[in-house]
Amino acid sequence: MLEALGLKEHIVAELAEARGRTLRLLEPLSDEQLVCQHSPLQSPLVWDLAHIGHFEELWLLRRLGGAEPIFPESDDVYDAFEHSREERPALELLDPATARAYLADVRERVVGALERTELDPDDRLLGDGFVFGLVVQHEQQHIETMLQTLQLSGLPHDAGGPSPVTPGEEVLVEAGTFTMGTDTGWAYDNERPEHDVEVPAFLIDSAPVTNTRYAEFIEAGGWSEPPFGWERDGDGWTCCRHGSTAPLAPDEPVQHVSWHEADAFALWAGKRLPSEAEWEKAASLGVLDGTGQVWEWTGSDFAGYPGFEPFPYREYSEVFFGSDYKVLRGGSWATHATVARTTFRNWDFPVRRQIFAGLRCARDA
Ligand code: AVJ
Ligand code: FE
């Protein structure tokens, strides 16, 4: 791992990078656009904003430094487990200017505290700067959530989209054991501990499913509804993105499909979704092209690995384990590099389509 001084500089740079991204994303929006709720699936953007600061304050100033809360009456408002997203617009939210000042205040204190803190390698929160990494990744993940909100609302933004992929062939992955998960760095509890998994031989597509291929499935009546954002246009389709409508890009990976739709596509194509273990094994062998463009639904339920231990809080992962949630892998165009690692696990309900999620097919060898 990085030696101590380099590690602190790395943390400060990662914190600053995330904050720059947050502020740039929200900068063009009016207070009204920040405060209103665009979709019942998503929080008002100003909630995400203040929640980013609250999470940072909670872990880095209060838990680590023993500081008193800055807004004690807001603790419940910004605790994601106290109120559903749907309820959040009715809460007493900090207004946008107060939220921005709050984030800046917390950050200034955090950088000061980091300078004075010894990153003791024997302390689970401090070793490798783990708890700082938790805060960096949390902010980066909320940026992606806020981009989903912008996408659902049709508000413009310039954050980009997926890049085209080259529809490829199937790749054979021979039977054998590989090491799944990781024990290092800023990896979340749900990626740990690393463990050996025996995977039978399988075939996996070298590329995610493109818009063209997915349109064939819709035309064939494989599913009654097109992906979120698609509109009929004569014989073809348009796609609404960043608030403007354009012809569907043929070679981009399809996104905004639910797990049910992904699963149905794979069956229609005579294949199936890869399991998480298959996906991670193929990714660690370097045979997957086009990862990091769209999240890829897997066939797996979200569960703890053998020997899983919740750390540092049960509500990050453990409370979601079970058959209600399906796992997504690989990261999307909206996922920052700090989060988009091969072992990273995302999850959502199988009916959800607000995520930048598509799929890649696999089958038994
Ligand atoms: C990993 C994207 C499912 O948004 O619920 C944000 C990330 N956890 N704040 C979520 C998260 C706490 C999480 N996902
Ligand atoms: Fe959060």
| Per-residue model confidence (pLDDT) at position 3 | 56
SS3 85: helix
Cα gap 273→276, rounded to integer Å:
9
| Per-residue model confidence (pLDDT) at position 284 | 97
Give the Å distances, CA to CA, from 161 to 98, 347, 357.
Answer: 31, 20, 12
Cα gap 281→181, rounded to integer Å:
10
| Per-residue model confidence (pLDDT) at position 167 | 84
As to burial, measured by CB atoms within 10 angstroms (0-12 exposed, 13-18 middle, 19+ buried), residue 116 is exposed
**Ligand 1 and 347: CB distance under 6 A:** yes
**Ligand 1 and 344: CB distance under 6 A:** no
Q: Quote the ligand 2 centre to 318 CA distance (angstroms).
A: 15
Successive 10-residue mean pLDDT values, the chain, 365 residues: 75 98 96 94 96 98 96 93 90 96 98 96 97 98 97 88 92 98 97 98 98 98 96 94 89 98 98 98 97 98 98 96 98 97 98 97 98
Q: Quote the ligand 2 centre to 176 CA distance (angstroms).
A: 37
Q: Quote the ligand 1 centre to 141 CA distance (angstroms).
A: 7
Partners of 203 in the β-ladder:
172, 363
Cα gap 4→6, rounded to integer Å:
6
On whether the pTM is more than 0.75, the answer is yes
Cα gap 5→55, rounded to integer Å:
25
| Per-residue model confidence (pLDDT) at position 244 | 85
**Ligand 1 and 346: CB distance under 6 A:** yes
Instruction: Identify which of 141, 190, 338 to mutate to test ligand 1's pocket (most ligand atoms within 8 A of the CB).
Output: 141
